[in-house]
Structures are given as C-alpha cells and as structure tokens.
Amino acid sequence: MITIRDLRAESVAAMARIDLANATGEPPSPVEPFEFHDCYCAVASFSGRPPWELHSAGDELLHVLSGRTRLTVRDGASEIVRELHAGDLVVIPKGCWHCNEAREGVTMLFMTPKKGNRHSWEDPDRSGD
C-alpha cells in the first residue's frame, strides 16, 4: 500500500501545536502515523520540552517542517547543542541521549526505531539513568 501524507507548508501551518506544559500524555500526531523500515514515523507539533530520549536499536531521523527547536545530543562525554530551523534534517546516532526544547514551537517529522527506546523527564546525567 502506498503511504501519502500532506506536509505542504500550508498544511503544516494549520497543524495545532500542543503545549507540553499542559500535556498529560504523548500528544497525537497531526498526520496518521506509519511504519518504515522498523521505524515508527509521525509528526510532532509542540511547544516546550518533551522527555529526554535514547534509542539503542537504531538511529532517529528528525526533519523540521516549521518553527525551531534547540536540540541537545549527548554522545558519551561530549554534548552537542544546535538550533534547528525549518528545513533542517538531523540523524541522531543510536545510543545517544537527546532532547528538544521548542520555546516558540516546532513541527517535525520523525522516524524513530520501534524497539530499544528509553525516555526520561529528568536529565539522564542527573538522574543516574
């Protein structure tokens, strides 16, 4: 079956952003999720900071569709912090804790491995995770 999702600029602009400060669970994707090569794929549209993530089974792909986010990636002892804007695409290597913070809001397509995922609302370096 063919998978088509409308990610044109006008469609993305109409997507409601969830304020994570008020979220009680994982917000739904504004497009129907789909699977691709053992990955869960969907769109996240939010403001605020989701939990820290680590994917041990594979890399994660993020493509910023609108807005911006501050991405922090930790690879062992090093930490990389980058401001991502609409059009940016990043591949986060497996085994790296990472977190986004989108104060003004971001909408992004993500492709996350279906297995080997960990989440932490606390900073993993401070929580002992």
pLDDT for the residue numbered 129: 54
Q: Is 98 a domain residue?
A: yes
pLDDT score of 22: 82
Residue among 23, 96, 30 at smallest CA distance from 58? 96
User: 85 in a domain, yes or no?
Assistant: yes
* DSSP per residue, 84-113: EETT-EEEEPTT-EEEEEEEEEEEEEEEEE
Angle at 24 between CA 18 and CA 30, to 5 degrees: 35
- Of 87, 42, 45, nearest to 60 by C-alpha is 42
Cβ atoms of 60 and 117 closer than 8 Å: no
Which neighbouring-strand residues pair with 46? Answer: 18, 106
Structure tokens at 110: 């993500």
Kindly give the confidence (pLDDT) of every residue in the chain, 129 residues in length, as a single tens digit, with 9 standing for 90 and above. 788 999 999 999 999 999 998 887 788 899 999 999 999 999 999 999 999 999 999 999 999 999 999 999 998 889 999 999 999 999 999 999 999 999 999 999 999 999 999 998 888 886 555
Backbone angles phi, psi at 95, to 5 degrees: 85, 5
Is 103 contained in some domain?
Answer: yes
Report yes or no: 46 and 106 within 8 Å, Cβ to Cβ. Answer: yes
pLDDT at 111: 97
Residue 73 domain boundaries: 9-121
Domain membership flag for residue 127: no
**Structural domain total, the chain:** 1
Find the CATH number of the domain harbouring 105: 2.60.120.10
